[in-house]
């Protein structure tokens, strides 16, 4: 679950607690190009206030207008489709030919929104089953490979913890990488036991730890939603933490440095710490996609790009990384809605 999803559900829970009617809108299918992916959510309050997004804005405007005129009915969920024609695409912010299908769900006491939020706080992955005929909701443990499923009768969505980034080292490059990661909805933790670096740290929204990096990696128990990036250039800080991270389920583990430095690091990890070739093969080093970056902000962009590629399962990232050659980072520097079913406000 992205933090944007948590934000949407959080708003929905607070609004309901304050006595408002709330409609939860979920993108369940898209055809052609679409501004938002399947699973994107919008919470719509009875007075027209919104949190989240399901399109470029025009679909939201149409939903708001419907709610302001007709209110939110306390009935079962329904399916609505927008798009199809070029004129509709222009009005609703969809590329020509794009179509988007939504499930519009009036929330109630049994919608289990609060339970989803609690699961996310506990870093548990949960599947939410919504029966469209009754509006009943059931929660169950989810497998990491599970994703959104919709067959017209039941909607299954998977919810879990935010993606998390652990950065080892509180230097200048770390500040830029952390700022980018925050913008990408990551929970960000920086670890640096060196007092001279911690004292100058000034990035709001980032948790700063004084622990030894390897101890913190063990404590955090990195899962498939955790990335670990080592940026200190100090083997005493980086190597043990990388060893623990590479043996964990972290989806991305990377280290800064030249190709020569990273080759030496791999040798140390194999000879002194006993990492297997398969474990060493998970290490991204030099960290980042090659974009000719020179300055710390540019290097941060390249690392963030590689991390997001790994998060999204983009295999091409490895091919791009192979093109780095010797130039590795060193750390220097008019339409109407077309409902597929009777609309909510008919």
For 122-149, what is each residue's pLDDT tens digit? Answer: 878 889 999 999 999 999 988 766 778 9
Q: What is the DSSP-derived secondary structure letter of residue 269?
A: H
- Averaged over 219-245, what is the pLDDT? 93
Comparing 2-6, 40-44, 210-214, 305-309, which segment has the lowest mean pLDDT? 2-6
pLDDT band at 258, cuts 50/70/90? confident
Ranges of each domain in the chain: 3-159, 164-322
Question: Chain-wide mean pLDDT for the chain?
Answer: 84
pLDDT at res. 16: 95
End-to-end CA distance of the chain: 33
Can you tell me the distance from the alpha carbon of 80 to that of 344, in angstroms, rounded to the nearest whole number? 8
Contact 316, 52 (CB under 8 A): no
pLDDT at res. 335: 36
The dihedrals phi and psi of 239, each to the nearest 5 degrees, come to -65, -50
Comparing 18-32, 103-117, 192-206, which segment has the lowest mean pLDDT? 192-206
Tell me the three state secondary structure of residue 243: helix
pLDDT band at 33, cuts 50/70/90? low
pLDDT at res. 90: 58
| Position with higher pLDDT, 317 vs 268 | 268
Token pair 């909607």 in the structure block, residue: 155
| Position with higher pLDDT, 330 vs 120 | 120
Can you tell me the distance from the alpha carbon of 255 to that of 277, in angstroms, rounded to the nearest whole number? 17
Q: How far is CA 104 from the centre of its chain?
A: 23
Contact 39, 30 (CB under 8 A): no
Contact 296, 319 (CB under 8 A): no
Strands 226-230 and 164-168: parallel
- Averaged over 259-273, what is the pLDDT? 89
- For domain 164-322, the question of CATH label 3.40.50.720 is answered with yes
For residue 339, pLDDT over 50 is answered with: no
**Largest CA-CA distance found in the chain, in angstroms, rounded:** 70
Give the count of beta carbons closer than 10 Å to the beta carbon of residue 233.
15
* 188: alpha, beta or left? (left if phi > 0; alpha if psi -120 to 50): beta
| Position with higher pLDDT, 73 vs 201 | 201
Greatest mean pLDDT among 56-60, 67-71, 184-188, 298-302: 298-302
- Name 137's Cβ contacts closer than 8 Å, sequence gap at least 6: 110, 111, 112, 128, 129, 130, 131
For residue 305, pLDDT over 50 is answered with: yes
pLDDT at res. 312: 86
Q: Which two tokens stand for residue 10?
A: 């959080």
pLDDT at res. 340: 40
């Amino acid at each position: 679950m992205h933090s944007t999803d948590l934000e949407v559900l959080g708003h929905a829970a607070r609004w309901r607690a304050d006595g408002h009617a709330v409609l939860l809108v979920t993108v369940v299918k898209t055809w052609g190009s679409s501004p938002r992916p399947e699973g994107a959510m919008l919470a719509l309050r009875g007075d027209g206030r919104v949190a989240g997004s399901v399109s470029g804005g025009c679909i939201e405007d149409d939903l708001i207008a419907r709610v302001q005129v007709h209110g939110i009915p306390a009935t079962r969920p329904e399916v609505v489709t927008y798009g199809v024609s070029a004129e509709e695409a222009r009005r609703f912010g969809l590329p020509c030919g794009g179509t988007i299908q939504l499930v519009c769900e009036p929330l109630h006491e049994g919608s289990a929104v609060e339970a989803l939020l609690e699961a996310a706080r506990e870093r548990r992955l949960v599947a939410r089953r919504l029966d469209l005929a009754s509006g009943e909701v059931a929660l169950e443990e989810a497998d990491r490979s599970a994703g959104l499923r919709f067959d017209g009768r039941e909607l299954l969505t998977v919810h879990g913890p935010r993606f998390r980034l652990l950065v080892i080292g509180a230097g200048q490059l770390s500040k830029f990488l952390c700022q980018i990661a925050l913008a990408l909805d990551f929970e960000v933790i920086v670890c640096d036991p060196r007092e001279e670096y911690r004292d100058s740290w000034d990035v709001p929204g980032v948790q700063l730890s004084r622990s030894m990096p390897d101890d913190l990696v063990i404590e955090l128990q990195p899962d498939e939603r955790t990335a670990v990036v080592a940026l200190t250039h100090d083997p005493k800080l980086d190597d043990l933490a990388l060893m623990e991270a590479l043996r964990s389920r972290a989806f991305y583990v990377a280290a800064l440095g030249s190709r020569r430095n990273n080759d030496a690091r791999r040798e140390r990890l194999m000879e002194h710490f006993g990492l297997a070739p398969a474990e060493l093969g998970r290490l991204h080093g030099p960290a980042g996609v090659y974009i000719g970056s020179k300055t710390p902000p540019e290097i941060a962009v390249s690392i963030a790009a590689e991390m997001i590629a790994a998060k999204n399962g983009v295999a091409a990232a490895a091919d791009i990384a192979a093109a780095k050659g010797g130039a590795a980072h060193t750390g220097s520097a008019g339409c109407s809605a077309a409902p597929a079913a009777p609309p909510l406000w008919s």
